Amino acid sequence: MITYTALSPHPPLLIPEIGGARLGDVSKTQQGLEEMARQMVDSCPETIVFLTPHGNIFSDALSALGDKELEGDFANFGCNIASSAHNDLELLQEIETRTKMASLNFLVLDEKLARSNRLQHRLDHGILVPLYYLQKAGLPKVSILAISIGYLPLMDLYAFGGLIRDAADTLGRNIAIVASGDMSHFLKDEGPYQYHPDGARYDARVKELLANGDVVSFVNMPEELRNNAGECGFRSLVIMLGALDGREFTAQVFSYEGPFGVGYLNMGFVPGQERDSLLHDIRMDKLKEIEAKRQAESLPVSWARMTLESYIEKGEVPSAPPGMEELQQRKAGAFVSLKRNGQLRGCIGTIAPAYGNLLAEIQHNAIAAATEDPRFSIIEPSELPELVYSVDVLGEPEPALRSELDPKRYGVIVTSGRRRGLLLPDLEGVDTVEEQLLIALQKAGISPNENYKIERFEVTRYK
């Protein structure tokens, strides 16, 4: 049974020995964490499940630390304060079993496995900060779980929360859940961050939706708003809300402030009476949104989708229906990108025309994006209704100097001998020329210190 859940910010400066004089700038957050910790301790959990965005993060899997005893410290922040707790291996095993049955990727990493793959095996500050306040509030020697979020589709994360709850219920275990995460990092032009007006909008929207218990609207929050805000706690919250699925809950805002350009929201959630699961409603809203996009999709995207659905469902490459003459008469390189629940699911393309005309170019690359992108498994038929497509048609590349690049307007091609790397323009998280070039060089296997040729190109993006 879930006794209590909370959203906890995790800046290390909330530890007095680290924050020092700056602690006064986050006094509201400090007081809020103290109250949240008191309420969680009073709910008498046997195990506390921590959901952190700063552990071992994978694009296609969730993970958890698997050693019998879990330890961590703030040495990276110049402080020798350390914490340790017993790992609830029985609950962890039950969750692992359920994820296998649900076909969710879930990795359990002990110290040996973590070290051999250069991964973390100790508690990170996303766990250590709230754990510090819980222990300060008199937390007895309870067990914990240290689970890292993954960049899986949001519906999978929400369903995973339900698996945590079901595993605890099966074992008769009383658990509390801490969703660790800060809000927008773009509230001010300060430090390594940049200002974006959506930062404050995102923080206000999260606070409003959670306070009102509007889970469906929260999970379906626009991806663009989340990305523009530069948040780090959304996925922790999605998992936490999934664990509360089928229950009413009472939400309490303990504190909110953003003195350093990062939003710190601290909330507690008390489970209440049973209610119908919202998982179906969330999925239906998402499918309606996708269907609306498909009603207005462009000709290139319609052809890419038609091709892929026929190939995945029937094993057939379709012939072009009437109305595709425009694509048959053009020649150009093209990239087809597939997303599922806001996350990239495949992307393959050609820099220059390779298959006769744009119709064939899009068809070939749509199939390749679904079946040949080495970063992802092959698209399954069950995923087709949730896919969102885009097609980038490339203009002619032209030689360029570094000073003539613009990552929002131009894509870039870097070449050294036979090695060649391409990056499309206007990509999420690629905001500077330096970032754009570095990623393109990495894709090509070219060192930044080598001599290489730069080309730029424009694209027409179809949705």
**Does residue 385 sit in the same domain as residue 416?**
no
Strands (E), 87-206: 106-109, 143-148, 175-180
366 lies in some domain: yes
> Do 47 and 173 contact (CB within 8 A), yes or no?
yes
Q: CA-CA distances (angstroms) from residue 415 to 59, 394, 404, 418, 421?
A: 28, 17, 17, 7, 7
**Does residue 253 sit in the same domain as residue 312?**
no
Positive or negative: CA dihedral 245, 135, 180, 152 = negative
Backbone phi, psi, residue 327, to 5°: -75, -30
Q: Which run of H or of E encompasses 10?
A: none
**Does residue 149 sit in the same domain as residue 46?**
yes
Looking at residues 231-240, what average pLDDT do you find? 96
Give the whole-angstrom CA distance, residue 86 versus residue 394.
55
Q: Which run of H or of E encompasses 359?
A: helix 358-371
Percent of the chain with pLDDT over 70: 100
Give the whole-angstrom CA distance, residue 14 versus residue 449.
41
Query: Over 90: is that where the pLDDT of 111 sits?
Result: yes
Q: What pLDDT shows up at residue 342?
A: 75
Q: What pLDDT shows up at residue 191?
A: 65
Give the whole-angstrom CA distance, residue 77 versus residue 17.
10
Angle of the 299-314 helix axis to the 358-371 helix axis, nearest 10: 50
251 lies in some domain: yes
Looking at residues 169-180, what average pLDDT do you find? 97
**Which residue range forms the structural domain that includes residue 97?**
2-279
> Do 56 and 113 contact (CB within 8 A), yes or no?
no
Give the whole-angstrom CA distance, residue 398 versus residue 400.
6
284 lies in some domain: no
**Does residue 373 sit in the same domain as residue 409?**
no
SS3 content of the chain, % helix, strand, coil (to 5): 40, 25, 35
**Does residue 369 sit in the same domain as residue 402?**
no
Domain holding 148: CATH number? Answer: 3.40.830.10
Structure tokens at 82: 């350390």
- HSE (CB half, 13 Å, CA atoms) of 346? 25
Chain segment 331-386, per-residue pLDDT in tens: 999 999 999 877 789 999 998 899 989 999 999 999 999 999 998 889 999 899 98
286 lies in some domain: no
What total number of domains does the chain contain? 3
DSSP-H helix ranges across 230-357? 234-243, 279-295, 299-314, 325-328
- HSE (CB half, 13 Å, CA atoms) of 149? 25
Choosing from 389, 424, 440, the residue where a domain stops is 389
292 lies in some domain: no
- HSE (CB half, 13 Å, CA atoms) of 441? 15
Mean pLDDT computed over every residue of the chain: 93
Q: What pLDDT shows up at residue 391?
A: 96
Among residues 302, 301, 237, 225, which one has the least CA distance to residue 265?
A: 237
Choosing from 343, 369, 389, the residue where a domain stops is 389
Lowest mean pLDDT among 73-77, 224-228, 289-293: 289-293
Q: Which run of H or of E encompasses 119?
A: none
Confidence of residue 282 (pLDDT cuts 50, 70, 90): confident
**Does residue 274 sit in the same domain as residue 226?**
yes
289 lies in some domain: no
- HSE (CB half, 13 Å, CA atoms) of 79? 19
Q: What is the residue whose two structure tokens read 């754009």?
A: 436
> Do 337 and 390 contact (CB within 8 A), yes or no?
yes
Any idea what the Cα angle at residue 389 is, between residues 388 and 390, rounded to 5°? 135
Looking at residues 438-457, what average pLDDT do you find? 93
Q: What pLDDT shows up at residue 242?
A: 96
Backbone phi, psi, residue 143, to 5°: -85, 165
Distance of CA 212 to the CA centre of its chain: 24
**Does residue 32 sit in the same domain as residue 61?**
yes
**Does residue 32 sit in the same domain as residue 178?**
yes
**Does residue 222 sit in the same domain as residue 307?**
no
Chain segment 412-436, per-residue pLDDT in tens: 999 999 999 999 998 877 889 999 9
Confidence of residue 2 (pLDDT cuts 50, 70, 90): very high
Chain segment 40-66, per-residue pLDDT in tens: 999 999 999 999 999 999 988 999 999
pTM (2 d.p.): 0.78
Query: Over 90: is that where the pLDDT of 194 sits?
Result: no
Looking at residues 75-96, what average pLDDT do you find? 94
Pairing state between β 387-394 and 334-340: antiparallel
Confidence of residue 273 (pLDDT cuts 50, 70, 90): very high
Gyration radius of the chain's alpha carbons: 24
Q: What pLDDT shows up at residue 329?
A: 92
Ranges 205-209, 224-228, 293-297, most confident: 205-209
Any idea what the Cα angle at residue 78 is, between residues 73 and 83, rounded to 5°? 15
Lowest mean pLDDT among 210-214, 240-244, 305-309, 429-433: 429-433
Domain holding 318: CATH number? Answer: 3.30.700.20
Percent of the chain with pLDDT over 90: 80
221 lies in some domain: yes
Q: What pLDDT shows up at residue 5?
A: 98
287 lies in some domain: no
**Does residue 181 sit in the same domain as residue 258?**
yes
Looking at residues 272-284, what average pLDDT do you find? 87
**Does residue 86 sit in the same domain as residue 189?**
yes
**Does residue 378 sit in the same domain as residue 447?**
no
Q: What is the residue whose two structure tokens read 């220059």?
A: 352
Query: Over 80: is that where the pLDDT of 318 sits?
Result: yes
Choosing from 279, 305, 334, the residue where a domain stops is 279
